[in-house]
Structures are given as C-alpha cells and as structure tokens.
Structure 1
C-alpha cells in the first residue's frame, strides 16, 4: 500500500474523571502496531460541538478530520443503556464526510461492556451511509480489565477482537478509498 490508511479513533466520553483515555490509549497502541494505518485520535473533550449543530471553528475542524479519514473507530462508554450525548452531537455535526467509510467500535461499561450502546450506534451509522464492522471490542467491568499502572489489558478476547476488527477495517478502508477515488459516493 502506497499511502497508509488514515484511521481516526474518536474518544466519545467527555465526563470528568472518565475511563475513556485508558481504553483509547490501549486501542491506539494496538492499531499503531499495524503498518497499514496512520492513527490519529479525536478526543471529543477537546472539541466544542454544539447540539444546535451551529457551524463553529471546532465543527469545521472536526469535519475536516473526518473528511481526511479512511476509517473510524469509536471508543465509547455506555450511559443508561445508550451512548454519550457528546458522540451524538459529533455524529450529527458531520454529514457527507462520514459516507462510504468503515467504522468500528470499542466499548466499555458494566456487565454489558457497552454493547447496548454499540447496537444503537450501528443503526445511526447505517443512516450516515457508513459500513459498520461486524467485529467489535467490548470490555465488561472495564476497570477490572486494565492494569492501573500501565493501562495494559490481558483480556485475550478483547485483544483478539481488536486484531480481527482492525483487519476488517483495513480491508473495507482500502476498498472504499479506491472506490471513492474513482467515483464520489452517490449519497
């Protein structure tokens, strides 16, 4: 591959004292081990994306990052059986830039590991004309799955799922980037 695929990892939670940076750092490390990806991080805590969907400098900067991406991974918590409001604002702040791009999910939470949030997100990203990866990464009781000192995990199921999801993202991102270069997505 001549040019690496640009993978943007979106950190969805913006709550104070959030666990999201630990999970995101681990996943970014795993993705960075793969040569086909150039990995960036979009932390929604660093963007002021208004729920009114007004155009702001942060909205324009966020939109450009998504436009430049070949693939997206969302690291999300689960709040009240759903995904964070900050992520909904981010998804709604961009329209055409999401289209014809693959998206994967890394979720964490209590007993469900964030899977209910991911199932809701799959419906939303389909409406945005994205391709949702079948494989996802989930951490039930997430704070117990990571070493507090190093941020590493020994959760073999999650490690395996991350590797498989990254393989799927690579395949779809390569195919969709090639298709978009021949003809714009008709959405």
Structure 2
C-alpha cells in the first residue's frame, strides 16, 4: 500500500493542459521533491511557467518549510511533518540542492534504474531528474504518477509502484 503519490513534472503540465483534473488530485496525498519545482522553473514561456508554478504551489500547499523543528512532530531528513516536499534519496552534482537531497550516491539502485531508462529513451537529458523522482517514490512507499511510458516501464522493472495520472485522475473529454 502506498503512502501517497509522487507526481512526475509532466503531471503539472497535464493539469494546466486539461488532461488531469486538479480537483481529483487535491483529494489525494501528494508529495514532490525539489526536482519537480526546479524543472517547472526552467519553463521558457514565462506565462506558462507562472501558471505551472501556481498549480504546483496549490497542490503542494502544505509544503512550506518551517525554520524550527518540534520534538514528536518533525520528520528526520525533512523539514517538518505535513511537508509535501521530501528530499531526494540520492544526490547528483549540479542537479541536487543542499538540504533537499540525501547525500550519497543512492546505491546501485540509482545507477541501475538510470541505465534502464537510458536504454529505453536513448539517454534523454532529464533522465537523472526522473530517476531521482522515481527512486524517492520507491524508498518512501509512494506511487509514481507519470505519463512517460519509458519512465513508467523502467520504474516498474525496479518495483516502483506507477500509475498513469491521465488514466487515474484524468478527464476523458479534454486534452
């Protein structure tokens, strides 16, 4: 049983483009890493970037980190309980952010998952980010939401629970 859902960055685009209903997503426990927010922040079209960030912030409304920790409330390796942004399970130079990643190489699991994804999509430039998201979902008992067939296939090979957000939370008459 999963503890919640980890949406791939494309899910936020799916909401904006009408393929996934935001109302249905709001009824589920969603988690993200800094990776999704960073990828949205690199969107070239300013209006689209702002709209995507608004959706991200709305869905991750309780993600605001606090500057203090409370005994019995704070979560190890994360800011505070209730926070929807969780640290990635590995750190990658020039991708991971201090305080938002568990430092280390993530073990051979990260490397094997990345190789599997690289083989499927010929090494797309954001594979490192996708693997960080998938590995974080796996190690935290979350189901990965994505419509990326290559990522879904590679992640499932390594035991990551995956679901196509457009099927589970989609709108059949849009998109």
Which range, TM-score by smaller chain? 0.3 to 0.5
User: TM-score, with normalisation over the residues of structure 2?
Assistant: 0.35
Q: Which has the higher strand share?
A: 1
Q: Taking structure 1 as the reference length, what is the TM-score of the superposition?
A: 0.33
RCO higher in structure (CA 8 A, sep ≥6): 2
